[in-house]
Amino acid sequence: MRSFVLLAWLGLSAVGVASCTSSSGIDSLGLDRLAPSKEITSAIPRPSSPVSETAQADVAVVMDVSANADAGMPPVKPSALVGGSEARAVEATEQVALSVPDRPIARGKVVRHRFSDAKPINFGKVSPKDYAVHGVDVSRWQGDIDWVKLKSQGANFVYIKATDGGDHLDPMFKKNWREAHQAGLKRGAYHFFYWCRVASEQADWFIRNVPRVEGALPPVIDVEYNAHSSCKRRLPRAKIIEKMQVFMDRLEAHYGQRPVIYTAPDFYDDNLKGEFKDYPFWLRSVAAHPSKRYPGRDWVFWQYSGSGLSHGVDGKIDLNVFHGSEKQWWAWISGATSVAAR
């Protein structure tokens, strides 16, 4: 996802400035300590609200770890959780009971990857090619995508940039969301989190723009440092955890899926070590296997390259793998994408 961070200054830095500087409320002025916090987490008493108080997952995805042992890969652990059956939408008028069907979803065909890389890396004993299920993540910077061709190259899933902050929608999101599904890719949406915006406002903006549909991958919160943003605040670790929890609680209540946390090494080292142990992680690690860069951290997705090359896309694209075998992929998908459509 660094493609957004690295390219935003070329032509759309004004968008980033607007997103951060247009923040509403005291929080945007850096004066949030002078007034009661607008961030509400499960760690402190909640006001009366249609949002589920606990929003705790009640279904764990049980995976068969034996397939990875023979390949020398770290075992997959059931870190991806599905939202509880009583989770509710943010607005009272949108309350809906959720349930997880007890039958597996229909399986498609996993396409073997044929991506290349402009900057190939020797990852050592366990490399991306050892994993069965590959995918990509995209934003406006990939332009018009030929999704059929991209899937034929091994893109079995895609995470699509949807929103950042509380007022920016990626202009290609709706098109990418529709066409990826039509081409048969498993699709999900991600939000680039702004530290100068109130977390609940960001969650509401994401919910407003990302459909809640059966079969979609769990939503993603992208947390990392952005040197090109007008927001230069480096919040205390506790405040970062608080804001993330607010955002994720609201998404889980609305979508009925536990959000995935995407992050990069520097941000992880400063803020996320030892945190959110019951959340699925998507880890960026373009020079080493995640087990070396994030020791002890379970993960579901690994972003191993920001310089991928593929038919169907002009220029470079981020490449990812799922942590497990094809069998484990379908087990995870069966639980993680089971939500009732409106």
Task: Identify the DSSP state of 340.
Answer: -
Could you give the CA distance from residue 291 to residue 125 in angstroms, rounded to a whole number? 12
pLDDT digits 0-9 by tens, 96-115: 223 333 344 457 789 999 99
Instruction: In whole angstroms, give the CA distance from residue 115 to residue 203.
Output: 34
Looking at residue 33, its pLDDT comes to 34
Other C-beta atoms closer than 10 Å to the C-beta of 326 total 16
Q: pTM of the entire structure?
A: 0.74
Mean pLDDT over 78-96 rounds to 34
Residue of 187, 207, 298, 289 whose CA lies nearest to 247: 207
Per-residue pLDDT, 297: 98
What's the mean pLDDT in 24-34? Answer: 37
CA 15, distance to chain mean position in Å, is 21
Give the residue-averaged pLDDT of 274-293: 98
Record: fold of 2-23+59-336: TIM Barrel (3.20.20)
Return the pLDDT at 232: 76
Once rounded to an integer, what is the mean pLDDT over residues 235-248?
97
pLDDT of residue 226: 83
pLDDT tens for each residue of 191-220: 999 999 999 999 999 999 999 999 999 999
Residues 6+ apart with CB under 8 A from 290: 283, 297, 299, 302
Average pLDDT for 220-249 = 92
Residue of 179, 224, 242, 252 marked catalytic: 224
Q: Is the pLDDT of residue 81 over 60?
A: no
Query: Does residue 162 surpass a pLDDT of 60?
Result: yes
Do residues 128 and 304 lie in contact, with contact meaning Cβ atoms separated by under 8 Å? yes
Q: Give CA–CA dist 165/27, Å, rounded.
A: 13
- For the cut 60, the answer to whether the pLDDT of residue 13 exceeds it is no
Average pLDDT on 330-336 reads 94
CA neighbor of 71 nearest in space, from 125, 111, 114: 125
Q: Which of 231, 245, 89 is nearest to 165 (CA)?
A: 231
> DSSP of 287-320, one letter per residue?
SS-HHHHSTT---SEEEEEEEEE-TTSSS-EEEE
69-85: burial string, b at 16+ Cβ within 10 Å, e else: eeeebbebbbbbbbbbe
Tokens representing residue 314 in the block = 């002009």
The answer, yes or no, to whether residue 274 has pLDDT greater than 70, is yes
Instruction: Please report the DSSP string for 132-186 in residue order.
Output: S-EEEEE-GGG-S--HHHHHHTT--EEEEEEEETTTEE-TTHHHHHHHHHHTT-E
Per-residue confidence at 339, pLDDT binned at 50, 70, 90?
Answer: low
**Percent of the chain, pLDDT > 70?**
68
Average of per-residue pLDDT across 129-149: 97
The per-residue pLDDT for 337 is 82
What band does 228 get if pLDDT is binned at 50, 70 and 90?
A: confident
Higher pLDDT, 71 or 122: 122
Average pLDDT of span 77-86:
38
Residue 56 has what pLDDT?
33
- 275 belongs to the catalytic site: no
Residue 234: the pLDDT is 87
- pLDDT averaged over the chain? 77
Please tell me the predicted confidence (pLDDT) of residue 164: 94
Residue showing tokens 């980033």: 16
Closest CA to 86 of 252, 239, 222, 240: 252
> Given a cut of 90, is residue 35 above it in pLDDT?
no
Band of residue 72 on the pLDDT scale cut at 50, 70, 90: very low
- Of the two residues 92 and 198, the one the predictor is more confident about is 198
